[in-house]
Amino acid sequence: MKFDNSWPIYMQIIDEFKKSIIRTELKPGDKIPSQREYAQKVRVNPNTVQRAYREMENLGMVETLRGQGTFVVAGEDKRQEMAMEMANTIMQHFILQMRSLGYQDKAMLAMLTQHLELEEDEQVDRV
Amino acid sequence: MKFDNSWPIYMQIIDEFKKSIIRTELKPGDKIPSQREYAQKVRVNPNTVQRAYREMENLGMVETLRGQGTFVVAGEDKRQEMAMEMANTIMQHFILQMRSLGYQDKAMLAMLTQHLELEEDEQVDRV
Amino acid sequence: MKFDNSWPIYMQIIDEFKKSIIRTELKPGDKIPSQREYAQKVRVNPNTVQRAYREMENLGMVETLRGQGTFVVAGEDKRQEMAMEMANTIMQHFILQMRSLGYQDKAMLAMLTQHLELEEDEQVDRV
Amino acid sequence: MKFDNSWPIYMQIIDEFKKSIIRTELKPGDKIPSQREYAQKVRVNPNTVQRAYREMENLGMVETLRGQGTFVVAGEDKRQEMAMEMANTIMQHFILQMRSLGYQDKAMLAMLTQHLELEEDEQVDRV
DNA sequence: GTGGTCTAGACCACC
DNA sequence: GTGGTCTAGACCACC
């Protein structure tokens, strides 16, 4: 795992787990790696991992059982809430970036429509 | 200036200048800082800045006149081409992120429309 | 400040601030000491203080403004909620202790009544 | 056994034995561990244990027979006296804590009554 | 100066 | 073995 130095590593770790849960690669009851294990895997200090795990517990994503490990608890409702939240963030970021390039709302929508159609065409071409 | 360690700094420097040109903060004929000056300002190795400036010259964004400095040359056509290029990149990135969250094309478009409308409403409210 | 080693220091710090807010010694808008300052005062590592302050922010007790300091935000509703919560904890603890000594509910109530009356008498005597 | 560093360990040891006697887990004539044994078990300096045992003898809780060990002597009267004494301490502590939160005597009594009733209800529910 | 993040590493509690 | 707490100290961002 390679992290940006532009935003906190513990948040990037949380984001990784969020995505895994949203994509249902991690389901309720699944055990995630122990803090030490994960820290070694991604080459990060165990304290940083612990902070991420602790915040994930506060966010209701996982549950930590002392001496046993950390387990996913986010059910379907929570999963959708998390997906919605991440999508909103991505969307906002996208809109701001486009506006900073001078794009108007209409132009943005038109361009997205076009891109999605283009990609379909590309897929058709490939097939 | 704060750079990511996740992609080459010289590319990030180029991106900054691209954005300034696209936003017309930098116009044809404008002088940009000397390599040494810029390197000090953003705390980066002068070699990194040199590489960025060289590539910008290759891209037709700037022109370097020995003993005089580096000047913007990108005209309106070039400006629009660069805007288009950056927008495409942002768009692609956006689509990939949304898809990785499980969003279909239609849902993506609907959500963008909704976001743009919401923001308008907010502005209306404020007025 | 002297801390027990029987439960986490950061929680004891939180408890101190909780009590100050409940007793209205700290009111909304009041600035609490900087993390470094407080750490020196109570002879604890700044990281431990930071964890306490962070959790207090999560609990809605304070608000932290980067570069400016940490400020009480808990209003009257929050204050009462906190008082109620602490009282419940103290009460539970008390009941458990008394039961472990073999006291029945009635005996407990009788004894508390008697103690409160005794103290009044004592005060009367002193006067 | 885990001790607080906030008050003398020898007193905490005495308290443990007091509770055992009050709960009649230890009865007159019962042998308690040798000082050395107990010191090892709770990981405390033998001198600390010795001081605790000596004070317990002064308090009339136990009797030490040279070469044979230490035995509980507290009879039923002594047991009740000890219970009363501990209860008083707990009670005082409780009242002080509640007052420091701003609770009046009446409110304290009402709250205790309520808590005891609530717990009964819970038990009824469970049955 | 004030808070925020991270590393390194010790020691403890619970299983 | 797994998580929890704490110290020590570096470096950064924002004011």
Q: Is the CB of A37 under 7 A from strand F?
A: yes
Q: Nearest CA to the C1' of F15 belongs to which residue?
A: C67
Average pLDDT, chain B: 86
Backbone dihedral region for residue A69 (phi beyond 0: left; psi -120 to 50: alpha; all else: beta): left
**Above 90 in pLDDT, residue C62?**
yes
Angstrom CA distances, D2 to A111, B31, D53, D86, stand at 67, 72, 18, 20
What one-character DSSP code corresponds to residue D75?
-
CA quadruple B14, B20, B26, B27: dihedral sign: positive
Q: Convert the pLDDT of each residue in A96-106 to its tens digit.
A: 889 888 888 99
**Above 70 in pLDDT, residue A127?**
no
The alpha carbon of residue C115 is apart from the nearest alpha carbon of chain D, in Å, by 8
Q: Is the CB of C68 under 7 A from strand F?
A: yes
Q: How many whole angstroms separate alpha carbon D47 and alpha carbon D62?
A: 18
pTM: 0.79
Residue D33's beta-bridge partner residues?
A: none
Q: Convert the pLDDT of each residue in D26-43 to its tens digit.
A: 999 999 999 988 887 787
Q: Nearest CA to the C1' of F6 belongs to which residue?
A: C48
Q: Convert the pLDDT of each residue in B2-27 to its tens digit.
A: 677 677 888 888 988 998 899 888 99
Q: Is the CB of A66 under 7 A from strand F?
A: yes
- Local structure of B35: helix, strand or coil: helix
Mutation to test the C interface, candidates D81, D94, D111, D122, most C Cβ within 10 Å: D94
Element (H, E) at B72: strand B69-72
Looking up tokens 């991106």, which residue turns up? B15
- Give the residue among A111, A72, D27 at the shortest CA–CA distance from B90: A111
> CB atoms < 10 A from the CB of B29, how many?
9
Sequence ranges of the domains in chain C: 9-74, 77-126
Contacting residues for B74 by C-beta, under 8 A, at least 6 apart: B21, B28, B60, B61, B62, B82
- Local structure of A6: helix, strand or coil: coil
CATH-assigned architecture of domain B9-74? Orthogonal Bundle (1.10)
**Could you say which nucleotides of strand E lie within 7 A of any protein CB atom?**
1-9, 12-15
Q: Convert the pLDDT of each residue in A11-37 to its tens digit.
A: 999 999 999 999 999 999 999 999 999
Q: Nearest CA to the C1' of E7 belongs to which residue?
A: A45
Q: Is the CB of A14 under 7 A from strand E?
A: no
Q: What is the mean pLDDT of residues A76-96?
A: 92
Residues of C in contact with D86 (CB under 8 A): 101
Residues of A in contact with B82 (CB under 8 A): none
| pLDDT value for A80 | 93
**Could you say which nucleotides of strand F lie within 7 A of any protein CB atom?**
1-9, 12-15
